[in-house]
Structure 1
């Protein structure tokens, strides 16, 4: 309790090497063995999830769908999901709880979509600033609102993921610090609350990676 946010500090090191960011690569250890002759159950689960997400992204993209265009969003979903889920294990650094990590994923995507839209579909981007059936007197305000909305998309994507990761972990840290100060009769109650919070954080890990992927897909379909 001396420093409540020390669990989010990426500067802690072992042998003068900052190893916390290496937790982002631990998800590669859970990838299935692609050289097995018979597909194991773990591979079947990952394959079915990928196929379901691929079909849903095709629906979201609509006419802007091209072969292979869902691969980057599917890879992004799996990468964020593994990082969110691994952060629930003890002594593993949660990289998605840092704005530098999430912004490094959201900013290149947003910038590439904006550049592609204004260079290739300029008329469509201008028309998108004014929604259909907008009264003439409100058009200048709608252009301003839509411009600001487009400019902060990268920040909202990254802040949403970071805030949700920090909030759950911080609440679990606060509750765990009560274990040394409460009586033994309340330890089981505290333990049950921690288990329920852990299950909730597992759901949040999946939902936030799914939200990040869906919003990125919608931004792509808007400019294409």
Structure 2
């Protein structure tokens, strides 16, 4: 089991582990968006960003005032890191809680600080759902408080666990390729290709889920 999870270890230890530099690899794609002649890829990416902007604006309401760009940036960062992690010899930083918690925790803390300072009554009203019997109100306050406190943890664990699960399955199937007969090699390659397609879809879905849930948490405090 130690060898199985070793692919997720940041192995280099000189000052800062160099594996984490893979998190900034997405920066090499940014200059292409400033070309005077747009390409098909840049046009497609702009359409995706415009669609995300409209959706986040709907979730956040008319008073969003540009805050949609925060969630679009988070979506882009997670999406690029998820995709780049599918390539060989590139460290998947989104499979570690140290990165996912570093994204989720500051967002949640900032939402809580803003909500409790500016909309205290609104935040208190969220602790007791409408129509709750008076006898159950203390229990509902405890339940709502706990569910609110674990939000950054669920955001971080969801993203990291999905990335780890897919990579582990690919690693397990890849390690069996040395021991199976050639007659089964076609089945193994087909399965690996299908899993890579599935992991590509999971990379998009998990980035989208993280950004949408963050925007929903933001809309609750305004």
Q: Report matched runs for 1:129-148 at 5 Å.
A: 129-148=127-146
What SS does the corresponding residue of 1:39 show, helix, strand or coil?
coil
The aligned counterpart of 1:217 is: 215
The aligned counterpart of 2:6 is: 6
- For the 8 Å contact 1:130–1:143, the answer to whether it is kept is yes
- For the 8 Å contact 1:27–1:83, the answer to whether it is kept is yes
Q: How far 1:37 sits from its partner (Å)? A: 2.1
TM-score normalised by length of structure 1: 0.95
- Of 127-136 and 32-41, deviating more is 32-41
Q: Report matched runs for 1:1-224 at 5 Å.
A: 3-10=3-10, 12-13=11-12, 18-63=17-62, 65-224=63-222
Q: How far 1:33 sits from its partner (Å)? A: 2.6
Distance in structure 2 (CA, Å) of the matches to 1:74 and 1:191: 35
- Of 112-121 and 15-24, deviating more is 15-24
Q: How far 1:205 sits from its partner (Å)? A: 0.2
TM-score normalised by length of structure 2: 0.96
When the two chains are superposed, the root-mean-square deviation of aligned CA atoms in Å is 1.5
Q: How far 1:84 sits from its partner (Å)? A: 0.4
Distance in structure 1 (CA, Å) of the matches to 2:86 and 2:39: 25
User: Unaligned 5+ residue runs, structure 1?
Assistant: none
- For the 8 Å contact 1:32–1:42, the answer to whether it is kept is no
User: Unaligned 5+ residue runs, structure 2?
Assistant: none
What SS does the corresponding residue of 2:3 show, helix, strand or coil?
coil
Distance in structure 2 (CA, Å) of the matches to 1:203 and 1:140: 42
Distance in structure 2 (CA, Å) of the matches to 1:74 and 1:115: 22
In the comparison of the two structures, how many residue pairs are matched?
Answer: 222
Distance in structure 1 (CA, Å) of the matches to 2:13 and 2:142: 49
